[in-house]
């Protein structure tokens, strides 16, 4: 395998299937292995042209646009490792729904949704190996690596666009999470509206905090069960910001159990001593209208054994 994979300049006319896609995402799919920094650089330098003119990375392509894709040299990336039989079995058993348009998976905790930053094999890479005939598998949304639960994957770009429209308009899709938090969650606390600001550290780690200069953010909460020292709540993210539920729980004074980014050291120490072995955040259900059939669907993902056994070990409060 050569060190570099070289491309020659070519022009591509945008078909209707890709109308509305951002220019940077369009290029990422065509220059395999290219980091985003390279994509942004060639756009900024004017090496990429749309209809012979300069444009920006967030330009929404239109059917009939002609994109000039310049010759670039990209270091070839090693092929993703073959999915083990054990992981194959786990993921196949985790599929909640599948048809020719989409699939839904109960993502296990600890599995990233996609590779990168030292992770060779994420959920989407696993699914592409398990469904080689589905050429356009794409994540509809994301879950943090340590969060488990329902995640949608589109098999067609038209389905992906339809789902993204639902998410952007905050209409047609409702997500509900289960979260076990530290302390006694107040009955009156039924929603949190606090703007969130995302920071990326030099290490690449993302940290989010409540800040007035941040983006508007809204989460609805409901009580499920109370225990000595803990509360099980359900959370509905009205907006979809990074770490939204985790930071809103922390802001409310009730961090999520096992959250090593936002809980205190004392909280983490106490829950680990009690047997907690994961982040207790789970995408429990997803309601949406099927983009192709128009069917109203509700998909529910059960919590894993670690989640269930720890909650079962707690002392309930009436």
User: What Å distances lie between residue 50 and 53, 139, 161, CA to CA?
Assistant: 5, 26, 21
CA pair distance 21, 261, nearest whole angstrom: 33
7-73: CATH number:
3.10.290.10
Fold topology of 173-317 = Pseudouridine synthase (3.30.2350)
3-class DSSP assignment, residue 83: coil
User: What Å distances lie between residue 249 and 145, 236, 276, CA to CA?
Assistant: 18, 12, 18
CA pair distance 103, 127, nearest whole angstrom: 10
Per-residue pLDDT tens, the chain, 318 aa: give them: 333 444 578 899 988 777 878 898 888 878 876 777 788 889 999 999 999 999 998 898 888 999 999 988 766 444 567 889 999 999 999 999 999 999 999 999 999 987 655 566 889 889 999 999 888 888 999 899 999 999 999 999 889 989 988 888 878 899 999 999 999 999 999 999 999 998 876 665 778 999 999 999 999 999 999 999 999 999 999 998 889 999 999 999 999 999 999 999 999 999 999 999 999 999 999 999 999 999 999 999 999 999 999 999 999 997
pTM value > 0.85: no
> What kind of architecture, by CATH, is found in domain 85-160?
2-Layer Sandwich (3.30)
Residue 312 phi, psi dihedral angles, 5° rounding: -65, -25
CA pair distance 103, 124, nearest whole angstrom: 11
Compute how many other C-beta atoms are within 10 angstroms of the C-beta atom of residue 3: 7
Is there a common fold for 85-160 and 173-317?
Answer: yes
Domain positions in the chain are 7-73, 85-160, 173-317
User: What Å distances lie between residue 59 and 67, 201, 211, CA to CA?
Assistant: 12, 27, 29
* Active-site amino acid positions: 144
CA pair distance 36, 29, nearest whole angstrom: 11
Q: What's the pLDDT at 37?
A: 79
Element (H, E) at 98: strand 95-98
CA pair distance 59, 21, nearest whole angstrom: 8
């Amino acid at each position: 395998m050569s060190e570099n994979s070289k491309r020659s300049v070519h022009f591509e006319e945008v078909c209707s299937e890709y109308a509305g896609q951002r220019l940077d995402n369009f290029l990422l799919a065509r220059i395999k292995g290219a980091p985003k920094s390279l994509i942004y650089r060639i756009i900024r330098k004017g090496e990429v042209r749309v209809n012979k003119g300069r444009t920006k990375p967030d330009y929404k392509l239109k059917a009939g646009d002609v994109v000039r894709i310049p010759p670039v040299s990209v270091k070839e990336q090693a092929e993703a490792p073959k999915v083990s039989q054990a992981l194959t079995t786990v993921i196949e058993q985790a599929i909640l729904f599948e048809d020719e348009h989409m699939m839904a998976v109960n993502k296990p905790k600890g599995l990233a949704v996609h590779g990168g930053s030292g992770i060779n094999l994420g959920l989407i890479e696993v699914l592409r190996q398990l469904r080689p005939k589905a050429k356009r598998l794409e994540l509809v949304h994301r879950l943090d690596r340590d969060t488990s639960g329902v995640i949608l994957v589109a098999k067609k770009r038209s389905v992906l666009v339809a789902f993204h429209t639902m998410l952007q308009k905050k209409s047609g899709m409702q997500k509900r999470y289960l979260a076990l938090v530290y302390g006694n969650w107040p009955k009156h606390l039924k929603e949190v509206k606090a703007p969130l600001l995302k920071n990326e550290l030099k290490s690449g780690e993302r940290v989010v905090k409540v800040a007035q200069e941040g983006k508007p953010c809204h989460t609805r909460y409901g009580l499920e069960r109370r225990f000595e020292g803990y509360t099980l709540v359900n959370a509905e993210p009205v907006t979809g910001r990074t770490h939204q539920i985790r930071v809103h729980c922390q802001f409310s004074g009730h961090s999520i159990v096992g959250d090593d980014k936002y809980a205190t050291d004392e909280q983490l120490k106490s829950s680990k001593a009690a047997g907690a072995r994961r982040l207790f955040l789970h995408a429990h259900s997803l309601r949406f209208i099927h983009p192709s059939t128009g069917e109203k669907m509700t998909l529910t993902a059960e919590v894993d054994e670690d989640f269930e056994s720890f909650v079962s070990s707690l002392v309930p409060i009436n």
